[in-house]
């Protein structure tokens, strides 16, 4: 099928819309099971500890395979890998909906995450290619991608509630099938063809095995720590094993002829700082969205549908700040300044969430938190993702894109596992001290929100001390990133 040249703004934005819509769906699938978990647990007989793997299996498959997927995109062609990833994601989504056992659902969620990694890892590289010579349009595109990252959690909770209430939990997976099929067909027609040198150029399979296995062990240790004891030989053994495997991955990257992640990338303060900030921000915000949804259902007594709609204002205002404001503010003040200020806004919202009472009023206690959180995260995500693509060599664009996705997924996997375990441990201690179930659960959620705020404040400190100050870009230039010297190099992928 011939692919039209992207020689008009309409053609470029049409191709971008396919990429961005699929990326949004991939992010949504991290949280889309949140409201449906109770129904899944009841129908398939999950215990509480194993239920977390309905979420974790997806994020481990996603995060563990992003770096390998980025390299395969460079070798086989980004368009080819995107379409293959969308196909695997779509088939695995259908299999998730058909699952009748715990084992099948967890396995299919892992495959769903693997397909998501293949598609997600190459999106940034394709976007930078499409808008290679249009920095202002690239800035707008980054705002849309930032919205997909920031608003995906809220939209996932909304869609989950609507589908679970109206059609059953199976449909939180079936909904991906028509969207994925349409995305694959449109991508084949609209995305420019590209060719890579082929697998003969080298693939670091050992490195991929080390990072994927290390992540799986780490998430498993965190997810089961409260059940088996944080100081138990089991928890410490898995934790130390994860550290050893990830250290082995770093050592492998230093010696591999064609590494998945060239360590030379970390010479860039923008890239290094932005990825650390991305990890901390996602660990705090995504887990907080999920914890807040659980608080509304388990403590405040909100129904599935009401819980879903409670997050709509956050998604709407996040879309406004990402799509309408982020590019303008970044052009005027620089990505570093926008990022630091927005991180402080996220931290303030999470600190306010830590004070939400056991029986909160929506307008008085919850809506202000959700509005500030959505607005601030909507500004932070485009800025951090722009900075995370600060590479000197265009050939490193694929690795930088994979690293950016990996940092987010590590934060996601570890954040959800750790926060859920911390909340459960705190609630257990409070119950043992004689508190009511609702009060004990509230204590656990409050502790999680306080920790999340601390993570975001740490991210703001990284932004202040690590990211180099940059000259604000004049509005006429419209460059999407803070340091102007990076813009021509970053878009030349």
Model pLDDT for residues 453-468, shown as the tens digit of each residue: 999 999 999 999 999 8
Residue 267's pLDDT is what?
Answer: 85
> Helix, strand, coil shares of the chain as percentages rounded to 5?
80, 0, 20
Which ranges in 77-175 belong to alpha helices (H)? 78-98, 102-130, 135-166, 171-174
Alpha carbon 92 to chain centroid distance?
19
Residue 481's pLDDT is what?
Answer: 40
Q: Compute the Cα dihedral for 462, 467, 471, 473 and give only its sign.
A: negative
Alpha carbon 24 to chain centroid distance?
10
Nearest one of 37, 47, 66, 56 to 106, comparing CA atoms: 56
Range name among 267-281, 386-400, 427-441 with the lowest pLDDT average:
386-400
Residue 200's pLDDT is what?
Answer: 64
How many angstroms separate the most distant Cα atoms in the chain? 69
HSE-CB of 234 using CA atoms within 13 angstroms: 10
Mean pLDDT of the chain: 82
Tell me the pLDDT tens digit for each residue of 206-260: 888 898 788 778 777 776 676 677 788 988 999 999 999 999 999 999 988 878 7
Alpha carbon 379 to chain centroid distance?
15
Tell me the pLDDT tens digit for each residue of 160-205: 777 877 788 899 899 899 999 999 999 998 888 877 666 666 778 8
Output DSSP code: residue 261.
S
Distance CA(475)–CA(467), nearest Å, equals 22
Residue 7's pLDDT is what?
Answer: 67
358 has a pLDDT exceeding 90: no
Q: Tell me, yes or no, if the pTM score tops 0.75.
A: yes
Where are any strands of DSSP class E within 281-436?
none
In this structure, are residues 356 and 299 in contact, taking their beta carbons and an 8 Å threshold?
Answer: no
Q: What is the chain's Cα-based Rg?
A: 21
Residue 486's pLDDT is what?
Answer: 38
Question: What are the two backbone dihedrals, phi and then psi, of residue 241, each rounded to the nearest 5 degrees?
Answer: -65, -40
334 has a pLDDT exceeding 80: yes
In this structure, are residues 96 and 112 in contact, taking their beta carbons and an 8 Å threshold?
Answer: yes
493 has a pLDDT exceeding 60: no
Distance CA(263)–CA(248), nearest Å, equals 13
Q: C-alpha distances in angstroms, 216 versus 38, 64, 79?
A: 24, 8, 28
Which ranges in 191-268 belong to alpha helices (H)? 205-228, 233-255
In this structure, are residues 53 and 104 in contact, taking their beta carbons and an 8 Å threshold?
Answer: no
The model's confidence at residue 128, banded by pLDDT at 50, 70 and 90, is confident
Residue 351's pLDDT is what?
Answer: 96
Where are any strands of DSSP class E within 362-428?
none
Tell me the pLDDT tens digit for each residue of 71-101: 788 778 889 999 999 999 999 999 999 999 9
Distance CA(362)–CA(349), nearest Å, equals 15
Mean pLDDT, residues 388-413: 73
Q: What stretch of H or E contains 345?
A: helix 335-353
Range name among 149-158, 231-240, 294-303, 374-383 with the lowest pLDDT average:
149-158
Residue 197's pLDDT is what?
Answer: 66
Residue 142's pLDDT is what?
Answer: 77
472 has a pLDDT exceeding 60: no
In angstroms, how far is the first alpha carbon of the chain from the final one? 24
In this structure, are residues 311 and 31 in contact, taking their beta carbons and an 8 Å threshold?
Answer: no
1 has a pLDDT exceeding 70: no
């Amino acid at each position: 099928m011939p692919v039209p040249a992207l020689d008009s703004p309409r053609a470029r934005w049409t191709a971008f819309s396919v990429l961005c819509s699929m990326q949004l769906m991939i992010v949504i699938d991290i949280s889309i099971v949140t409201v449906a978990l109770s129904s899944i647990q009841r129908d398939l007989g999950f215990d509480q500890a194993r239920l977390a793997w309905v979420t974790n299996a997806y994020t481990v498959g996603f995060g563990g395979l992003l770096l390998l997927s980025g390299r395969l995109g460079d070798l086989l062609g980004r368009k080819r890998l995107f379409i293959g990833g969308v196909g695997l994601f779509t088939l695995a989504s259908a299999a998730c909906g058909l699952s009748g056992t715990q084992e099948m659902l967890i396995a299919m969620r892992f495959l769903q995450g693997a397909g998501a990694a293949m598609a997600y890892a190459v999106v940034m590289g394709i976007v930078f290619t499409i808008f290679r010579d249009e920095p202002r349009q690239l800035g707008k595109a980054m705002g849309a991608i930032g919205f997909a990252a920031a608003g995906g959690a809220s939209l996932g909770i909304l869609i989950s509630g609507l589908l679970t209430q109206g059609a059953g939990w199976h449909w939180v997976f079936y909904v991906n099938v028509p969207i994925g099929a349409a995305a694959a067909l449109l991508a084949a027609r609209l995305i420019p063809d590209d060719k890579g040198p082929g697998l003969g150029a080298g693939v670091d399979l050992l490195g991929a095995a080390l990072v994927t296995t290390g992540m799986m062990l780490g998430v498993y240790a965190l997810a089961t720590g409260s059940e088996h004891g944080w100081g138990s030989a089991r928890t410490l053994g898995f934790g130390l094993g994860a550290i050893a495997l990830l250290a082995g991955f770093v050592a492998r990257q230093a010696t591999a002829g064609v590494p998945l992640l060239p360590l030379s990338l970390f010479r860039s303060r923008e890239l290094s700082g932005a990825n650390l900030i991305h990890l901390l921000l996602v660990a705090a915000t995504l887990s907080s969205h999920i914890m807040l949804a659980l608080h509304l259902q388990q403590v405040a007594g909100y129904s599935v549908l009401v819980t879903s709609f409670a997050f709509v204002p956050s998604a709407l205002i996040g879309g406004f700040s990402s799509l309408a404001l982020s590019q303008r503010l970044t052009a005027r003040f620089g990505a570093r300044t926008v990022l630091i200020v927005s991180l402080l806004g996220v931290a303030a919202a999470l600190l306010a969430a830590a004070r939400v009472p056991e029986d909160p009023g929506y307008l008085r206690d919850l809506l202000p938190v959700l509005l500030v959180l959505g607005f601030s995260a909507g500004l932070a995500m485009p800025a951090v993702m722009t900075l995370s693509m600060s590479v000197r060599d265009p050939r490193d664009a694929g690795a930088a894109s994979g690293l950016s996705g990996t940092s987010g997924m590590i934060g996601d996997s570890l954040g959800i596992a750790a926060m859920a375990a911390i909340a459960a441990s705190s609630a257990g201690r409070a119950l043992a001290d004689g508190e009511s179930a609702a009060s004990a659960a509230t204590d656990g959620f409050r502790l999680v929100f306080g920790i999340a705020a601390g993570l975001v404040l740490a991210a703001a400190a990284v932004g202040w001390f690590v990211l180099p100050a940059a000259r604000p870009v004049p509005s006429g230039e419209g460059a999407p990133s803070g340091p102007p010297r990076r813009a021509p190099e970053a878009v030349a992928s």
